[in-house]
């Protein structure tokens, strides 16, 4: 298997700056393919396919299309939860949570062929995720979430600082983030923002992504000074 991990790790922080998750219930009838094209045109640097229901045959076909679109534009392509789907299509990565295949077992299965992200349930899971081979973390919900029923209570900006104090691993903030509140997430230590409705559910997906990317890039630039 290809060492995809070695390809993406050096540029992972940049790849996570604007991380857009698909959601067909929010995309107003647009296909995942069209949503992703518009998001990338607006500056999305990573795409995650969320497949919560529907036949796996369809999921495989869509995932292969999204992988090709992302590869064409040099964008990271990740599958949410389903390591089997990610492995089947040769995705760049898979994002796991506490209810998915355990991270150590996932890393054992994929070796260096895939980037693995992880959403720690609380701060105590951060060292475990680092030791188990996570390449990046998803931390939230920062401001709450209307797109994930089991997301839990908002953890706030302070959680970003706490995670940054615990690890140098790249991480994104997720949950209720839009162009109007993305900057504090970056200032508190995140390397990027992961979003759903603030891009996917908008009338103009490209413009929404562009507005978010501009805010994130400006905040990242200020941090580097």
CA distance 146 to 66: 25
Q: CATH no. for residue 220?
A: 3.20.20.70
CA distance 132 to 39: 31
- pLDDT, one tens digit per residue, over 44-102 is 999 999 998 889 999 999 999 999 999 999 999 999 999 999 999 999 999 999 999 99
- Active-site residue, 50 included: yes
What is the residue range of 155's domain? Answer: 4-224
Among residues 67, 107, 148, 210, which one is catalytic? 148
What lies within 8 Å, CB to CB, of 198 at 6+ separation is 177, 178, 179, 208, 212
Phi-psi region of 31 (alpha: psi -120 to 50; beta: other; left: phi over 0): beta
Pairing verdict, β 93-96 and 115-118? parallel
pLDDT mean over 124-147: 93
Total domain count for the chain?
1
Structure tokens at 151: 């997301």
- Active-site residue, 27 included: no
Sign for the pseudo-dihedral over CA of 214, 215, 221, 225: positive
pLDDT of 200 over the 80 cut: yes
- Active-site residue, 52 included: no
Among residues 45, 113, 119, 197, which one is catalytic? 119
Among residues 24, 50, 159, 210, which one is catalytic? 50
> What is the reported pTM?
0.96
Closest residue by Cα to residue 220 from 196, 198, 189, 195: 189
């Amino acid at each position: 298997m290809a060492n995809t991990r070695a390809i993406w790790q050096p540029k992972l922080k940049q790849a996570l700056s604007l991380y857009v998750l698909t959601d067909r219930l929010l995309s107003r009838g647009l296909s995942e393919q069209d949503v992703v094209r518009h998001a990338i045109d607006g500056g999305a640097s990573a795409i995650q396919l969320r497949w919560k229901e529907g036949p796996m045959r369809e999921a495989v076909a869509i995932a292969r299309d999204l992988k090709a679109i992302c590869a064409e534009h040099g964008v990271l392509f990740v599958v949410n939860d389903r390591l089997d789907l990610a492995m089947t299509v040769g995705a760049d990565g898979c994002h796991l949570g506490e209810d998915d295949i355990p991270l150590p077992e996932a890393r054992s299965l994929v070796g260096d062929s895939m980037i693995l992200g992880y959403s720690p349930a609380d701060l105590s899971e951060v060292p475990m995720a680092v030791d188990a081979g996570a390449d990046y973390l998803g931390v939230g919900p920062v401001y709450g979430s209307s797109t994930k029923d089991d997301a839990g209570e908002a953890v706030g900006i302070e959680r970003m600082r706490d995670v940054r104090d615990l690890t140098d691993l790249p991480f994104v903030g997720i949950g209720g983030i839009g162009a109007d509140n993305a900057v504090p997430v970056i200032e508190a230590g995140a390397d990027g923002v992961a979003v759903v409705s603030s891009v996917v559910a908008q009338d103009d997906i490209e413009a929404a992504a562009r507005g978010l990317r501009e805010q994130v890039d400006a905040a990242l630039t200020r941090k580097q000074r």
